[in-house]
Amino acid sequence: MPNKTNKISIVLPVYNEEAGIKNTIEVLENFVECQIETYEIIFVDDGSVDSSVDIIRHAQSQYENIRLVEFSRNFGHQLAITAGIRYAKGDAVVVMDADLQDPPSVIPNMIEKWQEGFDVVYGKRLIREGESFFKRFSAKAFYRVMRKVANVDIPLDTGDFRLMDRKVVDALSKLNEPEPFVRGLVSWVGFKQTAVTYERQERNAGVTKYPLTKMIRLASDGITSFSEIPLKIVNYTGFISIVAGIIYGLITIFTGISTLTFAISLMCVLSGMIMLALGIIGDYLYRTFDASKHRPQYVVSNSYGFNNHTGNIAT
Ligand code: UDP
Ligand code: MG
């Protein structure tokens, strides 16, 4: 049984967060300083094109336990988290947004559950402050669909705000998927998991870095990597179309009715279905193709603060 002392790494992915990152650093530092004995805060800059990196670099001169990993370009939120947990040296790692939507005050509750013996403590959102109706609705719908179709048990209404024990982090770090869906992978690796509930706050500044296109991509990554149900639906639809076609053919033969218009509309529907099916199969195929290239998941251009062991974290 490992000694569960409070060596905690906090990982925050950052993409163009210049408007709020200074405030995040101050709030987080002030909070964890009096709550956690030994900690490090790892920012992973996901190719920001604003002054986020400069602000974090400046904060490093003020706070000795801040680290920074810089990506060479924007690789995406999920890969920024993946890199951050690989750099983390803590006995437990907490992942949270860099915009204070995940309140630091929940971290002590997570640590408490971890010390009780849980390996993963995920934050379950009770309400979501300041987010559009569309965002709340689409997120709720996505979590419910995901729960129905995924072949792992992904808890409802949980994002990436969670604490993970060292052994979970080590297991996750070995996975090398090009487009990882981290919350699915955390369920996939297993271990003893529990939830703490929290109220998701408004962003402290700036706007969401998850536009609709990125949300769709995340949803598609989640579904294609954890479910074969869309492929089954393609199968069933094909089967139903064949049966319907045969019945329709028999009706026209036996009744002699000419139903050209109906036939044309049927053709449109069927060709649409075929294109849709091809698209779904293509999504799965693309994932295989992507994985077969064996490229590294991301490229790190710089890292700062990791060799400096004068920080609070024990190595
Ligand atoms: N983020 C990132 N890369 C991206 C998009 C977002 O590292 O391509 C970061 C972002 O800076 C934030 C976190 O991931 O810390 C979650 O993004 P955001 O807060 O914009 O998403 P939302 O909370 O609106 O879903
Ligand atoms: Mg956010």
* Nearest in space to 39 (alpha carbons), one of 71, 82, 6: 6
Whether 221 is covered by a domain: the verdict is no
Specify whether 171 is located in the same domain as 198.
yes
- Angle in degrees, CA 213, 216, 217, rounded to 5: 85
What percent of the chain shows pLDDT beyond 70? Answer: 93
Whether 215 is covered by a domain: the verdict is no
Question: Each residue of 196-250: pLDDT tens digit?
Answer: 999 888 888 888 888 888 888 888 888 888 888 888 888 888 778 877 777 877 7
Specify whether 159 is located in the same domain as 265.
no
Nearest ligand, CA 208: 1
Question: Each residue of 180-197: pLDDT tens digit?
Answer: 999 999 999 999 999 999
Nearest ligand, CA 43: 1
Specify whether 165 is located in the same domain as 125.
yes
Specify whether 35 is located in the same domain as 79.
yes
Q: Per-residue confidence at 140, pLDDT binned at 50, 70, 90?
A: confident
Specify whether 69 is located in the same domain as 195.
yes
Specify whether 239 is located in the same domain as 137.
no
Whether 217 is covered by a domain: the verdict is no
* DSSP 8-state code for residue 209: S
Structural domain boundaries, residue 158: 7-210+296-304
Take residue 225 and report the two structure tokens written for it: 């990597």
Whether 216 is covered by a domain: the verdict is no
Q: Please state, in angstroms and rounded to a whole number, the distance separating the CA atoms of residues 203 and 182.
A: 22
Whether 218 is covered by a domain: the verdict is no
Indicate if ligand 1 lies below 6 Å from the C-beta of 99.
yes
**Per the structure, how many domains does the chain have?**
2
Specify whether 171 is located in the same domain as 128.
yes
- The ligand 1 atom at the shortest distance from the C-alpha of residue 45 is 7
Measure 205 CA to ligand 2 centroid, in angstroms.
Answer: 10
Q: Which helix (H) or strand (E) covers residue 304, if one does?
A: strand 300-304
Residue with tokens 């770090």: 173
Measure 260 CA to ligand 2 centroid, in angstroms.
Answer: 53
* DSSP 8-state code for residue 202: P
CATH of the domain at 180: 3.90.550.10
ipTM for the complex shown = 0.97
- The ligand 1 atom at the shortest distance from the C-alpha of residue 209 is 20
Question: Each residue of 3-37: pLDDT tens digit?
Answer: 445 799 999 999 999 999 999 999 999 998 888 88
